[in-house]
Amino acid sequence: MAPLDYLKDELADLEEQGLLLHPRTLEGPTGARARFDGRDVINLASNNYLGLANHPRLNEAASGAALALGAGSGAVRSIAGTMSMHRDLERRFADFKHAEDALMFQSGFAANAGTVAAILDKEDVIVSDQLNHASIIDGARLSGAEIKVFPHRDVDAADDLLAETARPGRRQLLITDGVFSMDGDIAPLPGLVEVAERHGAIMMVDDAHASGVLGRGGAGTVDHFGLHGRVDVQVGTLSKAIGVLGGFIAGPTHLIQWLQNRGRPYLFSTSAPPAVVSACIAALDVIRDEPQRIDRLWSNTRLFKEGLHALGFDTGESQTPITPVITGEEDETQEFARRLFDEGVFAPAIVFPTVARGRARVRTIVTADHSEDDLRQALEVFGRAGRELGLV
Ligand SMILES: Cc1ncc(COP(=O)(O)O)c(C=O)c1O
C-alpha cells in the first residue's frame, strides 16, 4: 500500500456521507446569468456583489497593466515585489476605510490568518465569535494564543470571557466577522467595541462581506455603525464586492509597519501581479463613480428577501444580500439545490460541516447586476421546487 492510500478511504467516507465536494465549472465569465456545467442559469452563488468582476473598466485596467508592466511582480513584497501601484492601492484602501494606512495581502484568507498570527503569541488570548471565518480560526491557532469562543453574536458572553481570561501583561483580542458568510447577519459591533474598550482588548473585524456593501460608499460595518477610530484592525477582501483577488488590513501606521516585518504571507509569498492591483484600483474608482450599484444591490436584496418570505421560506437572521434559505436536513437540501439548478437557478447547498447539522440551507447572494426579471424568475423556481419537495 502506498503511504497516501489512506486518503482513498477518507474520500470514500466523505462520498458515503454526501460530503464530498463536486464543484460546478463556470464556462465563461461570471455574472448575474452565467453558464455552469453546460447550463445557462441565474447565478445566485457568487460574491460578485457589485457586478465588478467583469466590469469593462476593471477588465481594461487589468489588461492594460499586464501589457505595460508584465504578468507577474517577480518577488515577495519585502524583497523586490513592491511596485508603486501596490502602495497606491494601499493608500486608496486606507482612505476607503478611514484608516491611517493599509496593507495588501494575496487573499482575504492570508490577511486574516497572517495578521492574527503576527499580533499575538502564546501568552495571549483570542475571544472569537462561534461563526467566525476559517481564516480567523487558522490564524488564531497559528498564533499559539489561548482561544475562547463565544456563542454567536452574544456580547455578554464575550464580555464574560474577556473578564475571565484577563491577566496582568496578557494581550486580548476580540474578533468578529462584520457580516457572517453563511447567515448574512451583522455582528453587534457597537456592543463588542464597548466591551473591548472596557477590557483594553484589541478589536478586530473581518469585513470580507461588508466592504463595498455596508456603510457609506461601501466603507463597511465600522462606518455603518459610526465606529471610526474605535476598531483597531479592519480586514477586507478584494475578491468579493471589489471583484478581483486579494485581501487587506487597514489600521494605524504602526500596525501596518509591524505586519510588513512580521506578517508571514506578506514576507514569504509573492505579491499580487499588476493586472490584479490595477483592476482593484479601478474597482475603487467605479465604486466612487457609480454609487447606484450599491443602491441597486440593496433594492435587489429587499425584493428577493420579500419574495422568499412571501413564499414561506425561513431565511434565518439575514440582514444583508446573503440570504440563506434554511431547509434543515442535508439530503433534502442537496435535492432542493439540484432541482433549482435543473430549472435554471444556481444556489449552492451548504451542509455540515460548513454549518451545523440540521441547519442545512441553500445560500443565495443577489448582486447589483441582477435584473428584477432575473429575481422574479428565480423566485418562481424557488416556489415551485420548494412546494414539490414539501419545504413550503
Ligand atoms: C468572512 C470571510 N473572511 C475571509 C474570507 C477570505 O477571503 P478571500 O476569498 O479573499 O481569501 C472569506 C471568503 O471566503 C470570508 O467569507
Q: What is the pLDDT of residues 94-103, one digit of tens each?
A: 999 999 999 9
Residue 18: the pLDDT is 77
CATH code of the domain covering residue 337: 3.90.1150.10
> The domain spanning residue 256 has which CATH number?
3.40.640.10
Q: Using the 3D structure, point to which of 289, 315, 349 is the last residue of a domain.
A: 289
Evaluate if pTM is beyond 0.75.
Answer: yes
CA distances from 239 to 225, 247, 303 (A): 23, 7, 25
d(CA 341, CA 364): 12
Reduced to 3 states, what is the DSSP secondary structure of residue 133?
coil
pLDDT band at 169 (very low <50, low <70, confident <90, very high): very high
- In the numeric block, the cell 471565518 is attached to 133
**Alpha helix positions (H), the chain:** 6-16, 56-69, 84-96, 108-119, 134-143, 155-165, 189-199, 221-224, 253-262, 264-268, 274-289, 292-311, 330-342, 372-388
C-beta of 106 in contact with ligand 1 (< 6 A): no
Cell of 206: 473581518
Are 89 and 171 part of one and the same domain? yes
The Å distance, Cα 208 to ligand 1 centre, comes to 6
pLDDT at 172 over 90: yes
Q: Annotated catalytic sites, by residue?
A: 181, 209, 240
Residues 142, 188, single domain; the answer is yes
Output the average pLDDT for the chain.
97
Has residue 144 got a pLDDT over 80? yes
| Ligand 1 within 6 A of CB of 108 | yes
In tens, the pLDDT along 9-51 reads 999 999 988 788 899 999 999 999 999 999 999 999 999 999 9
DSSP reduced 3-state for 104: strand
- If DSSP codes are grouped into helix, strand and coil, which group holds residue 213? coil
Is 364 a pocket residue for ligand 1 (Cβ < 6 Å)? no
User: Is residue 285 domain-shared with residue 295, that is, in the same domain?
Assistant: no
298 is a domain residue: yes
For residue 207, the number of C-alpha atoms closer than 13 Å in the C-beta half-sphere is 32
Judge whether 216 lies within some domain. Answer: yes
**How does residue 194 score in pLDDT terms, banded at 50, 70 and 90?**
very high
Residue 112 Cβ contacting ligand 1 at under 6 Å: yes
Task: State the pLDDT at residue 33.
Answer: 98
Percent of the chain with pLDDT over 70: 100
Tell me the CA distances in angstroms from 266 to 91, 216, 270, 343, 388, one per residue in order.
Answer: 17, 29, 8, 44, 51
Q: Which domain holds residue 343?
A: 19-48+291-388
- What single DSSP character describes residue 49? T
Q: How many domains does the chain have?
A: 2
**pLDDT for residue 331:** 87
Smallest CA-to-CA distance from 122 within 150, 104, 152, 147 is with: 147
Radius of gyration for the chain, computed over Cα atoms and rounded to the nearest angstrom: 21
135 lines ligand 1 (CB under 6 A): yes
Task: State the cell numbers at 177.
Answer: 466577522
pLDDT above 90 covers what percent of the chain? 94
Give the end of a domain, one of 260, 289, 318.
289
- Tell how far the Cα of 79 is from the centroid of ligand 1, in angstroms: 27
Q: Are strands 202-206 and 233-237 parallel, antiparallel or unpaired?
A: parallel
Q: What is the C-alpha separation between 262 and 103, in angstroms, rounded?
A: 12
Please check the confidence at residue 352 and state whether its pLDDT lies above 90. Answer: no
The pLDDT confidence band at residue 62, using thresholds 50, 70 and 90, is very high
CB 215 within 8 A of CB 249: no
- Domain-located, residue 7: no
Q: Please count the helices (runs of H) and the strands (runs of E) in the chain.
A: 14, 13
Per-residue pLDDT reduced to its tens digit, 279-326? 999 999 999 999 999 999 999 999 999 999 999 999 999 999 999 999
Q: Which of 47, 48, 109, 180, when mutated, tests ligand 1's pocket best, judged by the most ligand atoms within 8 Å of its CB? A: 109
Residues 226, 143, single domain; the answer is yes
Q: Whose CA is nearest to atom 16 of ligand 1?
A: 181
CB of 133 shorter than 6 A to ligand 1: yes
Residue listed under C-alpha cell 493586472: 275
Say whether both 38 and 63 belong to one domain.
Answer: no
- pLDDT at position 217, please? 97
Last residue of a domain, one of 229, 260, 289: 289
Same domain, 41 and 89: no
Give pLDDT, residue 330: 85
- 361: β partners: 326, 350
pLDDT at 332 over 80: yes
Buried b (16+ CB within 10 A) or exposed e, 36-53: beeeebbbbbbbbbbbbb
Name the pLDDT band for 363 (thresholds 50, 70, 90): very high
- From 179, 237, 239, 322, the mutation candidate for ligand 1 (largest count of ligand atoms within 8 A of CB) is 237
Specify the pLDDT at position 39: 98
Question: What confidence score (pLDDT) does residue 94 get?
Answer: 97
Q: Which amino acid is at 333?
A: T
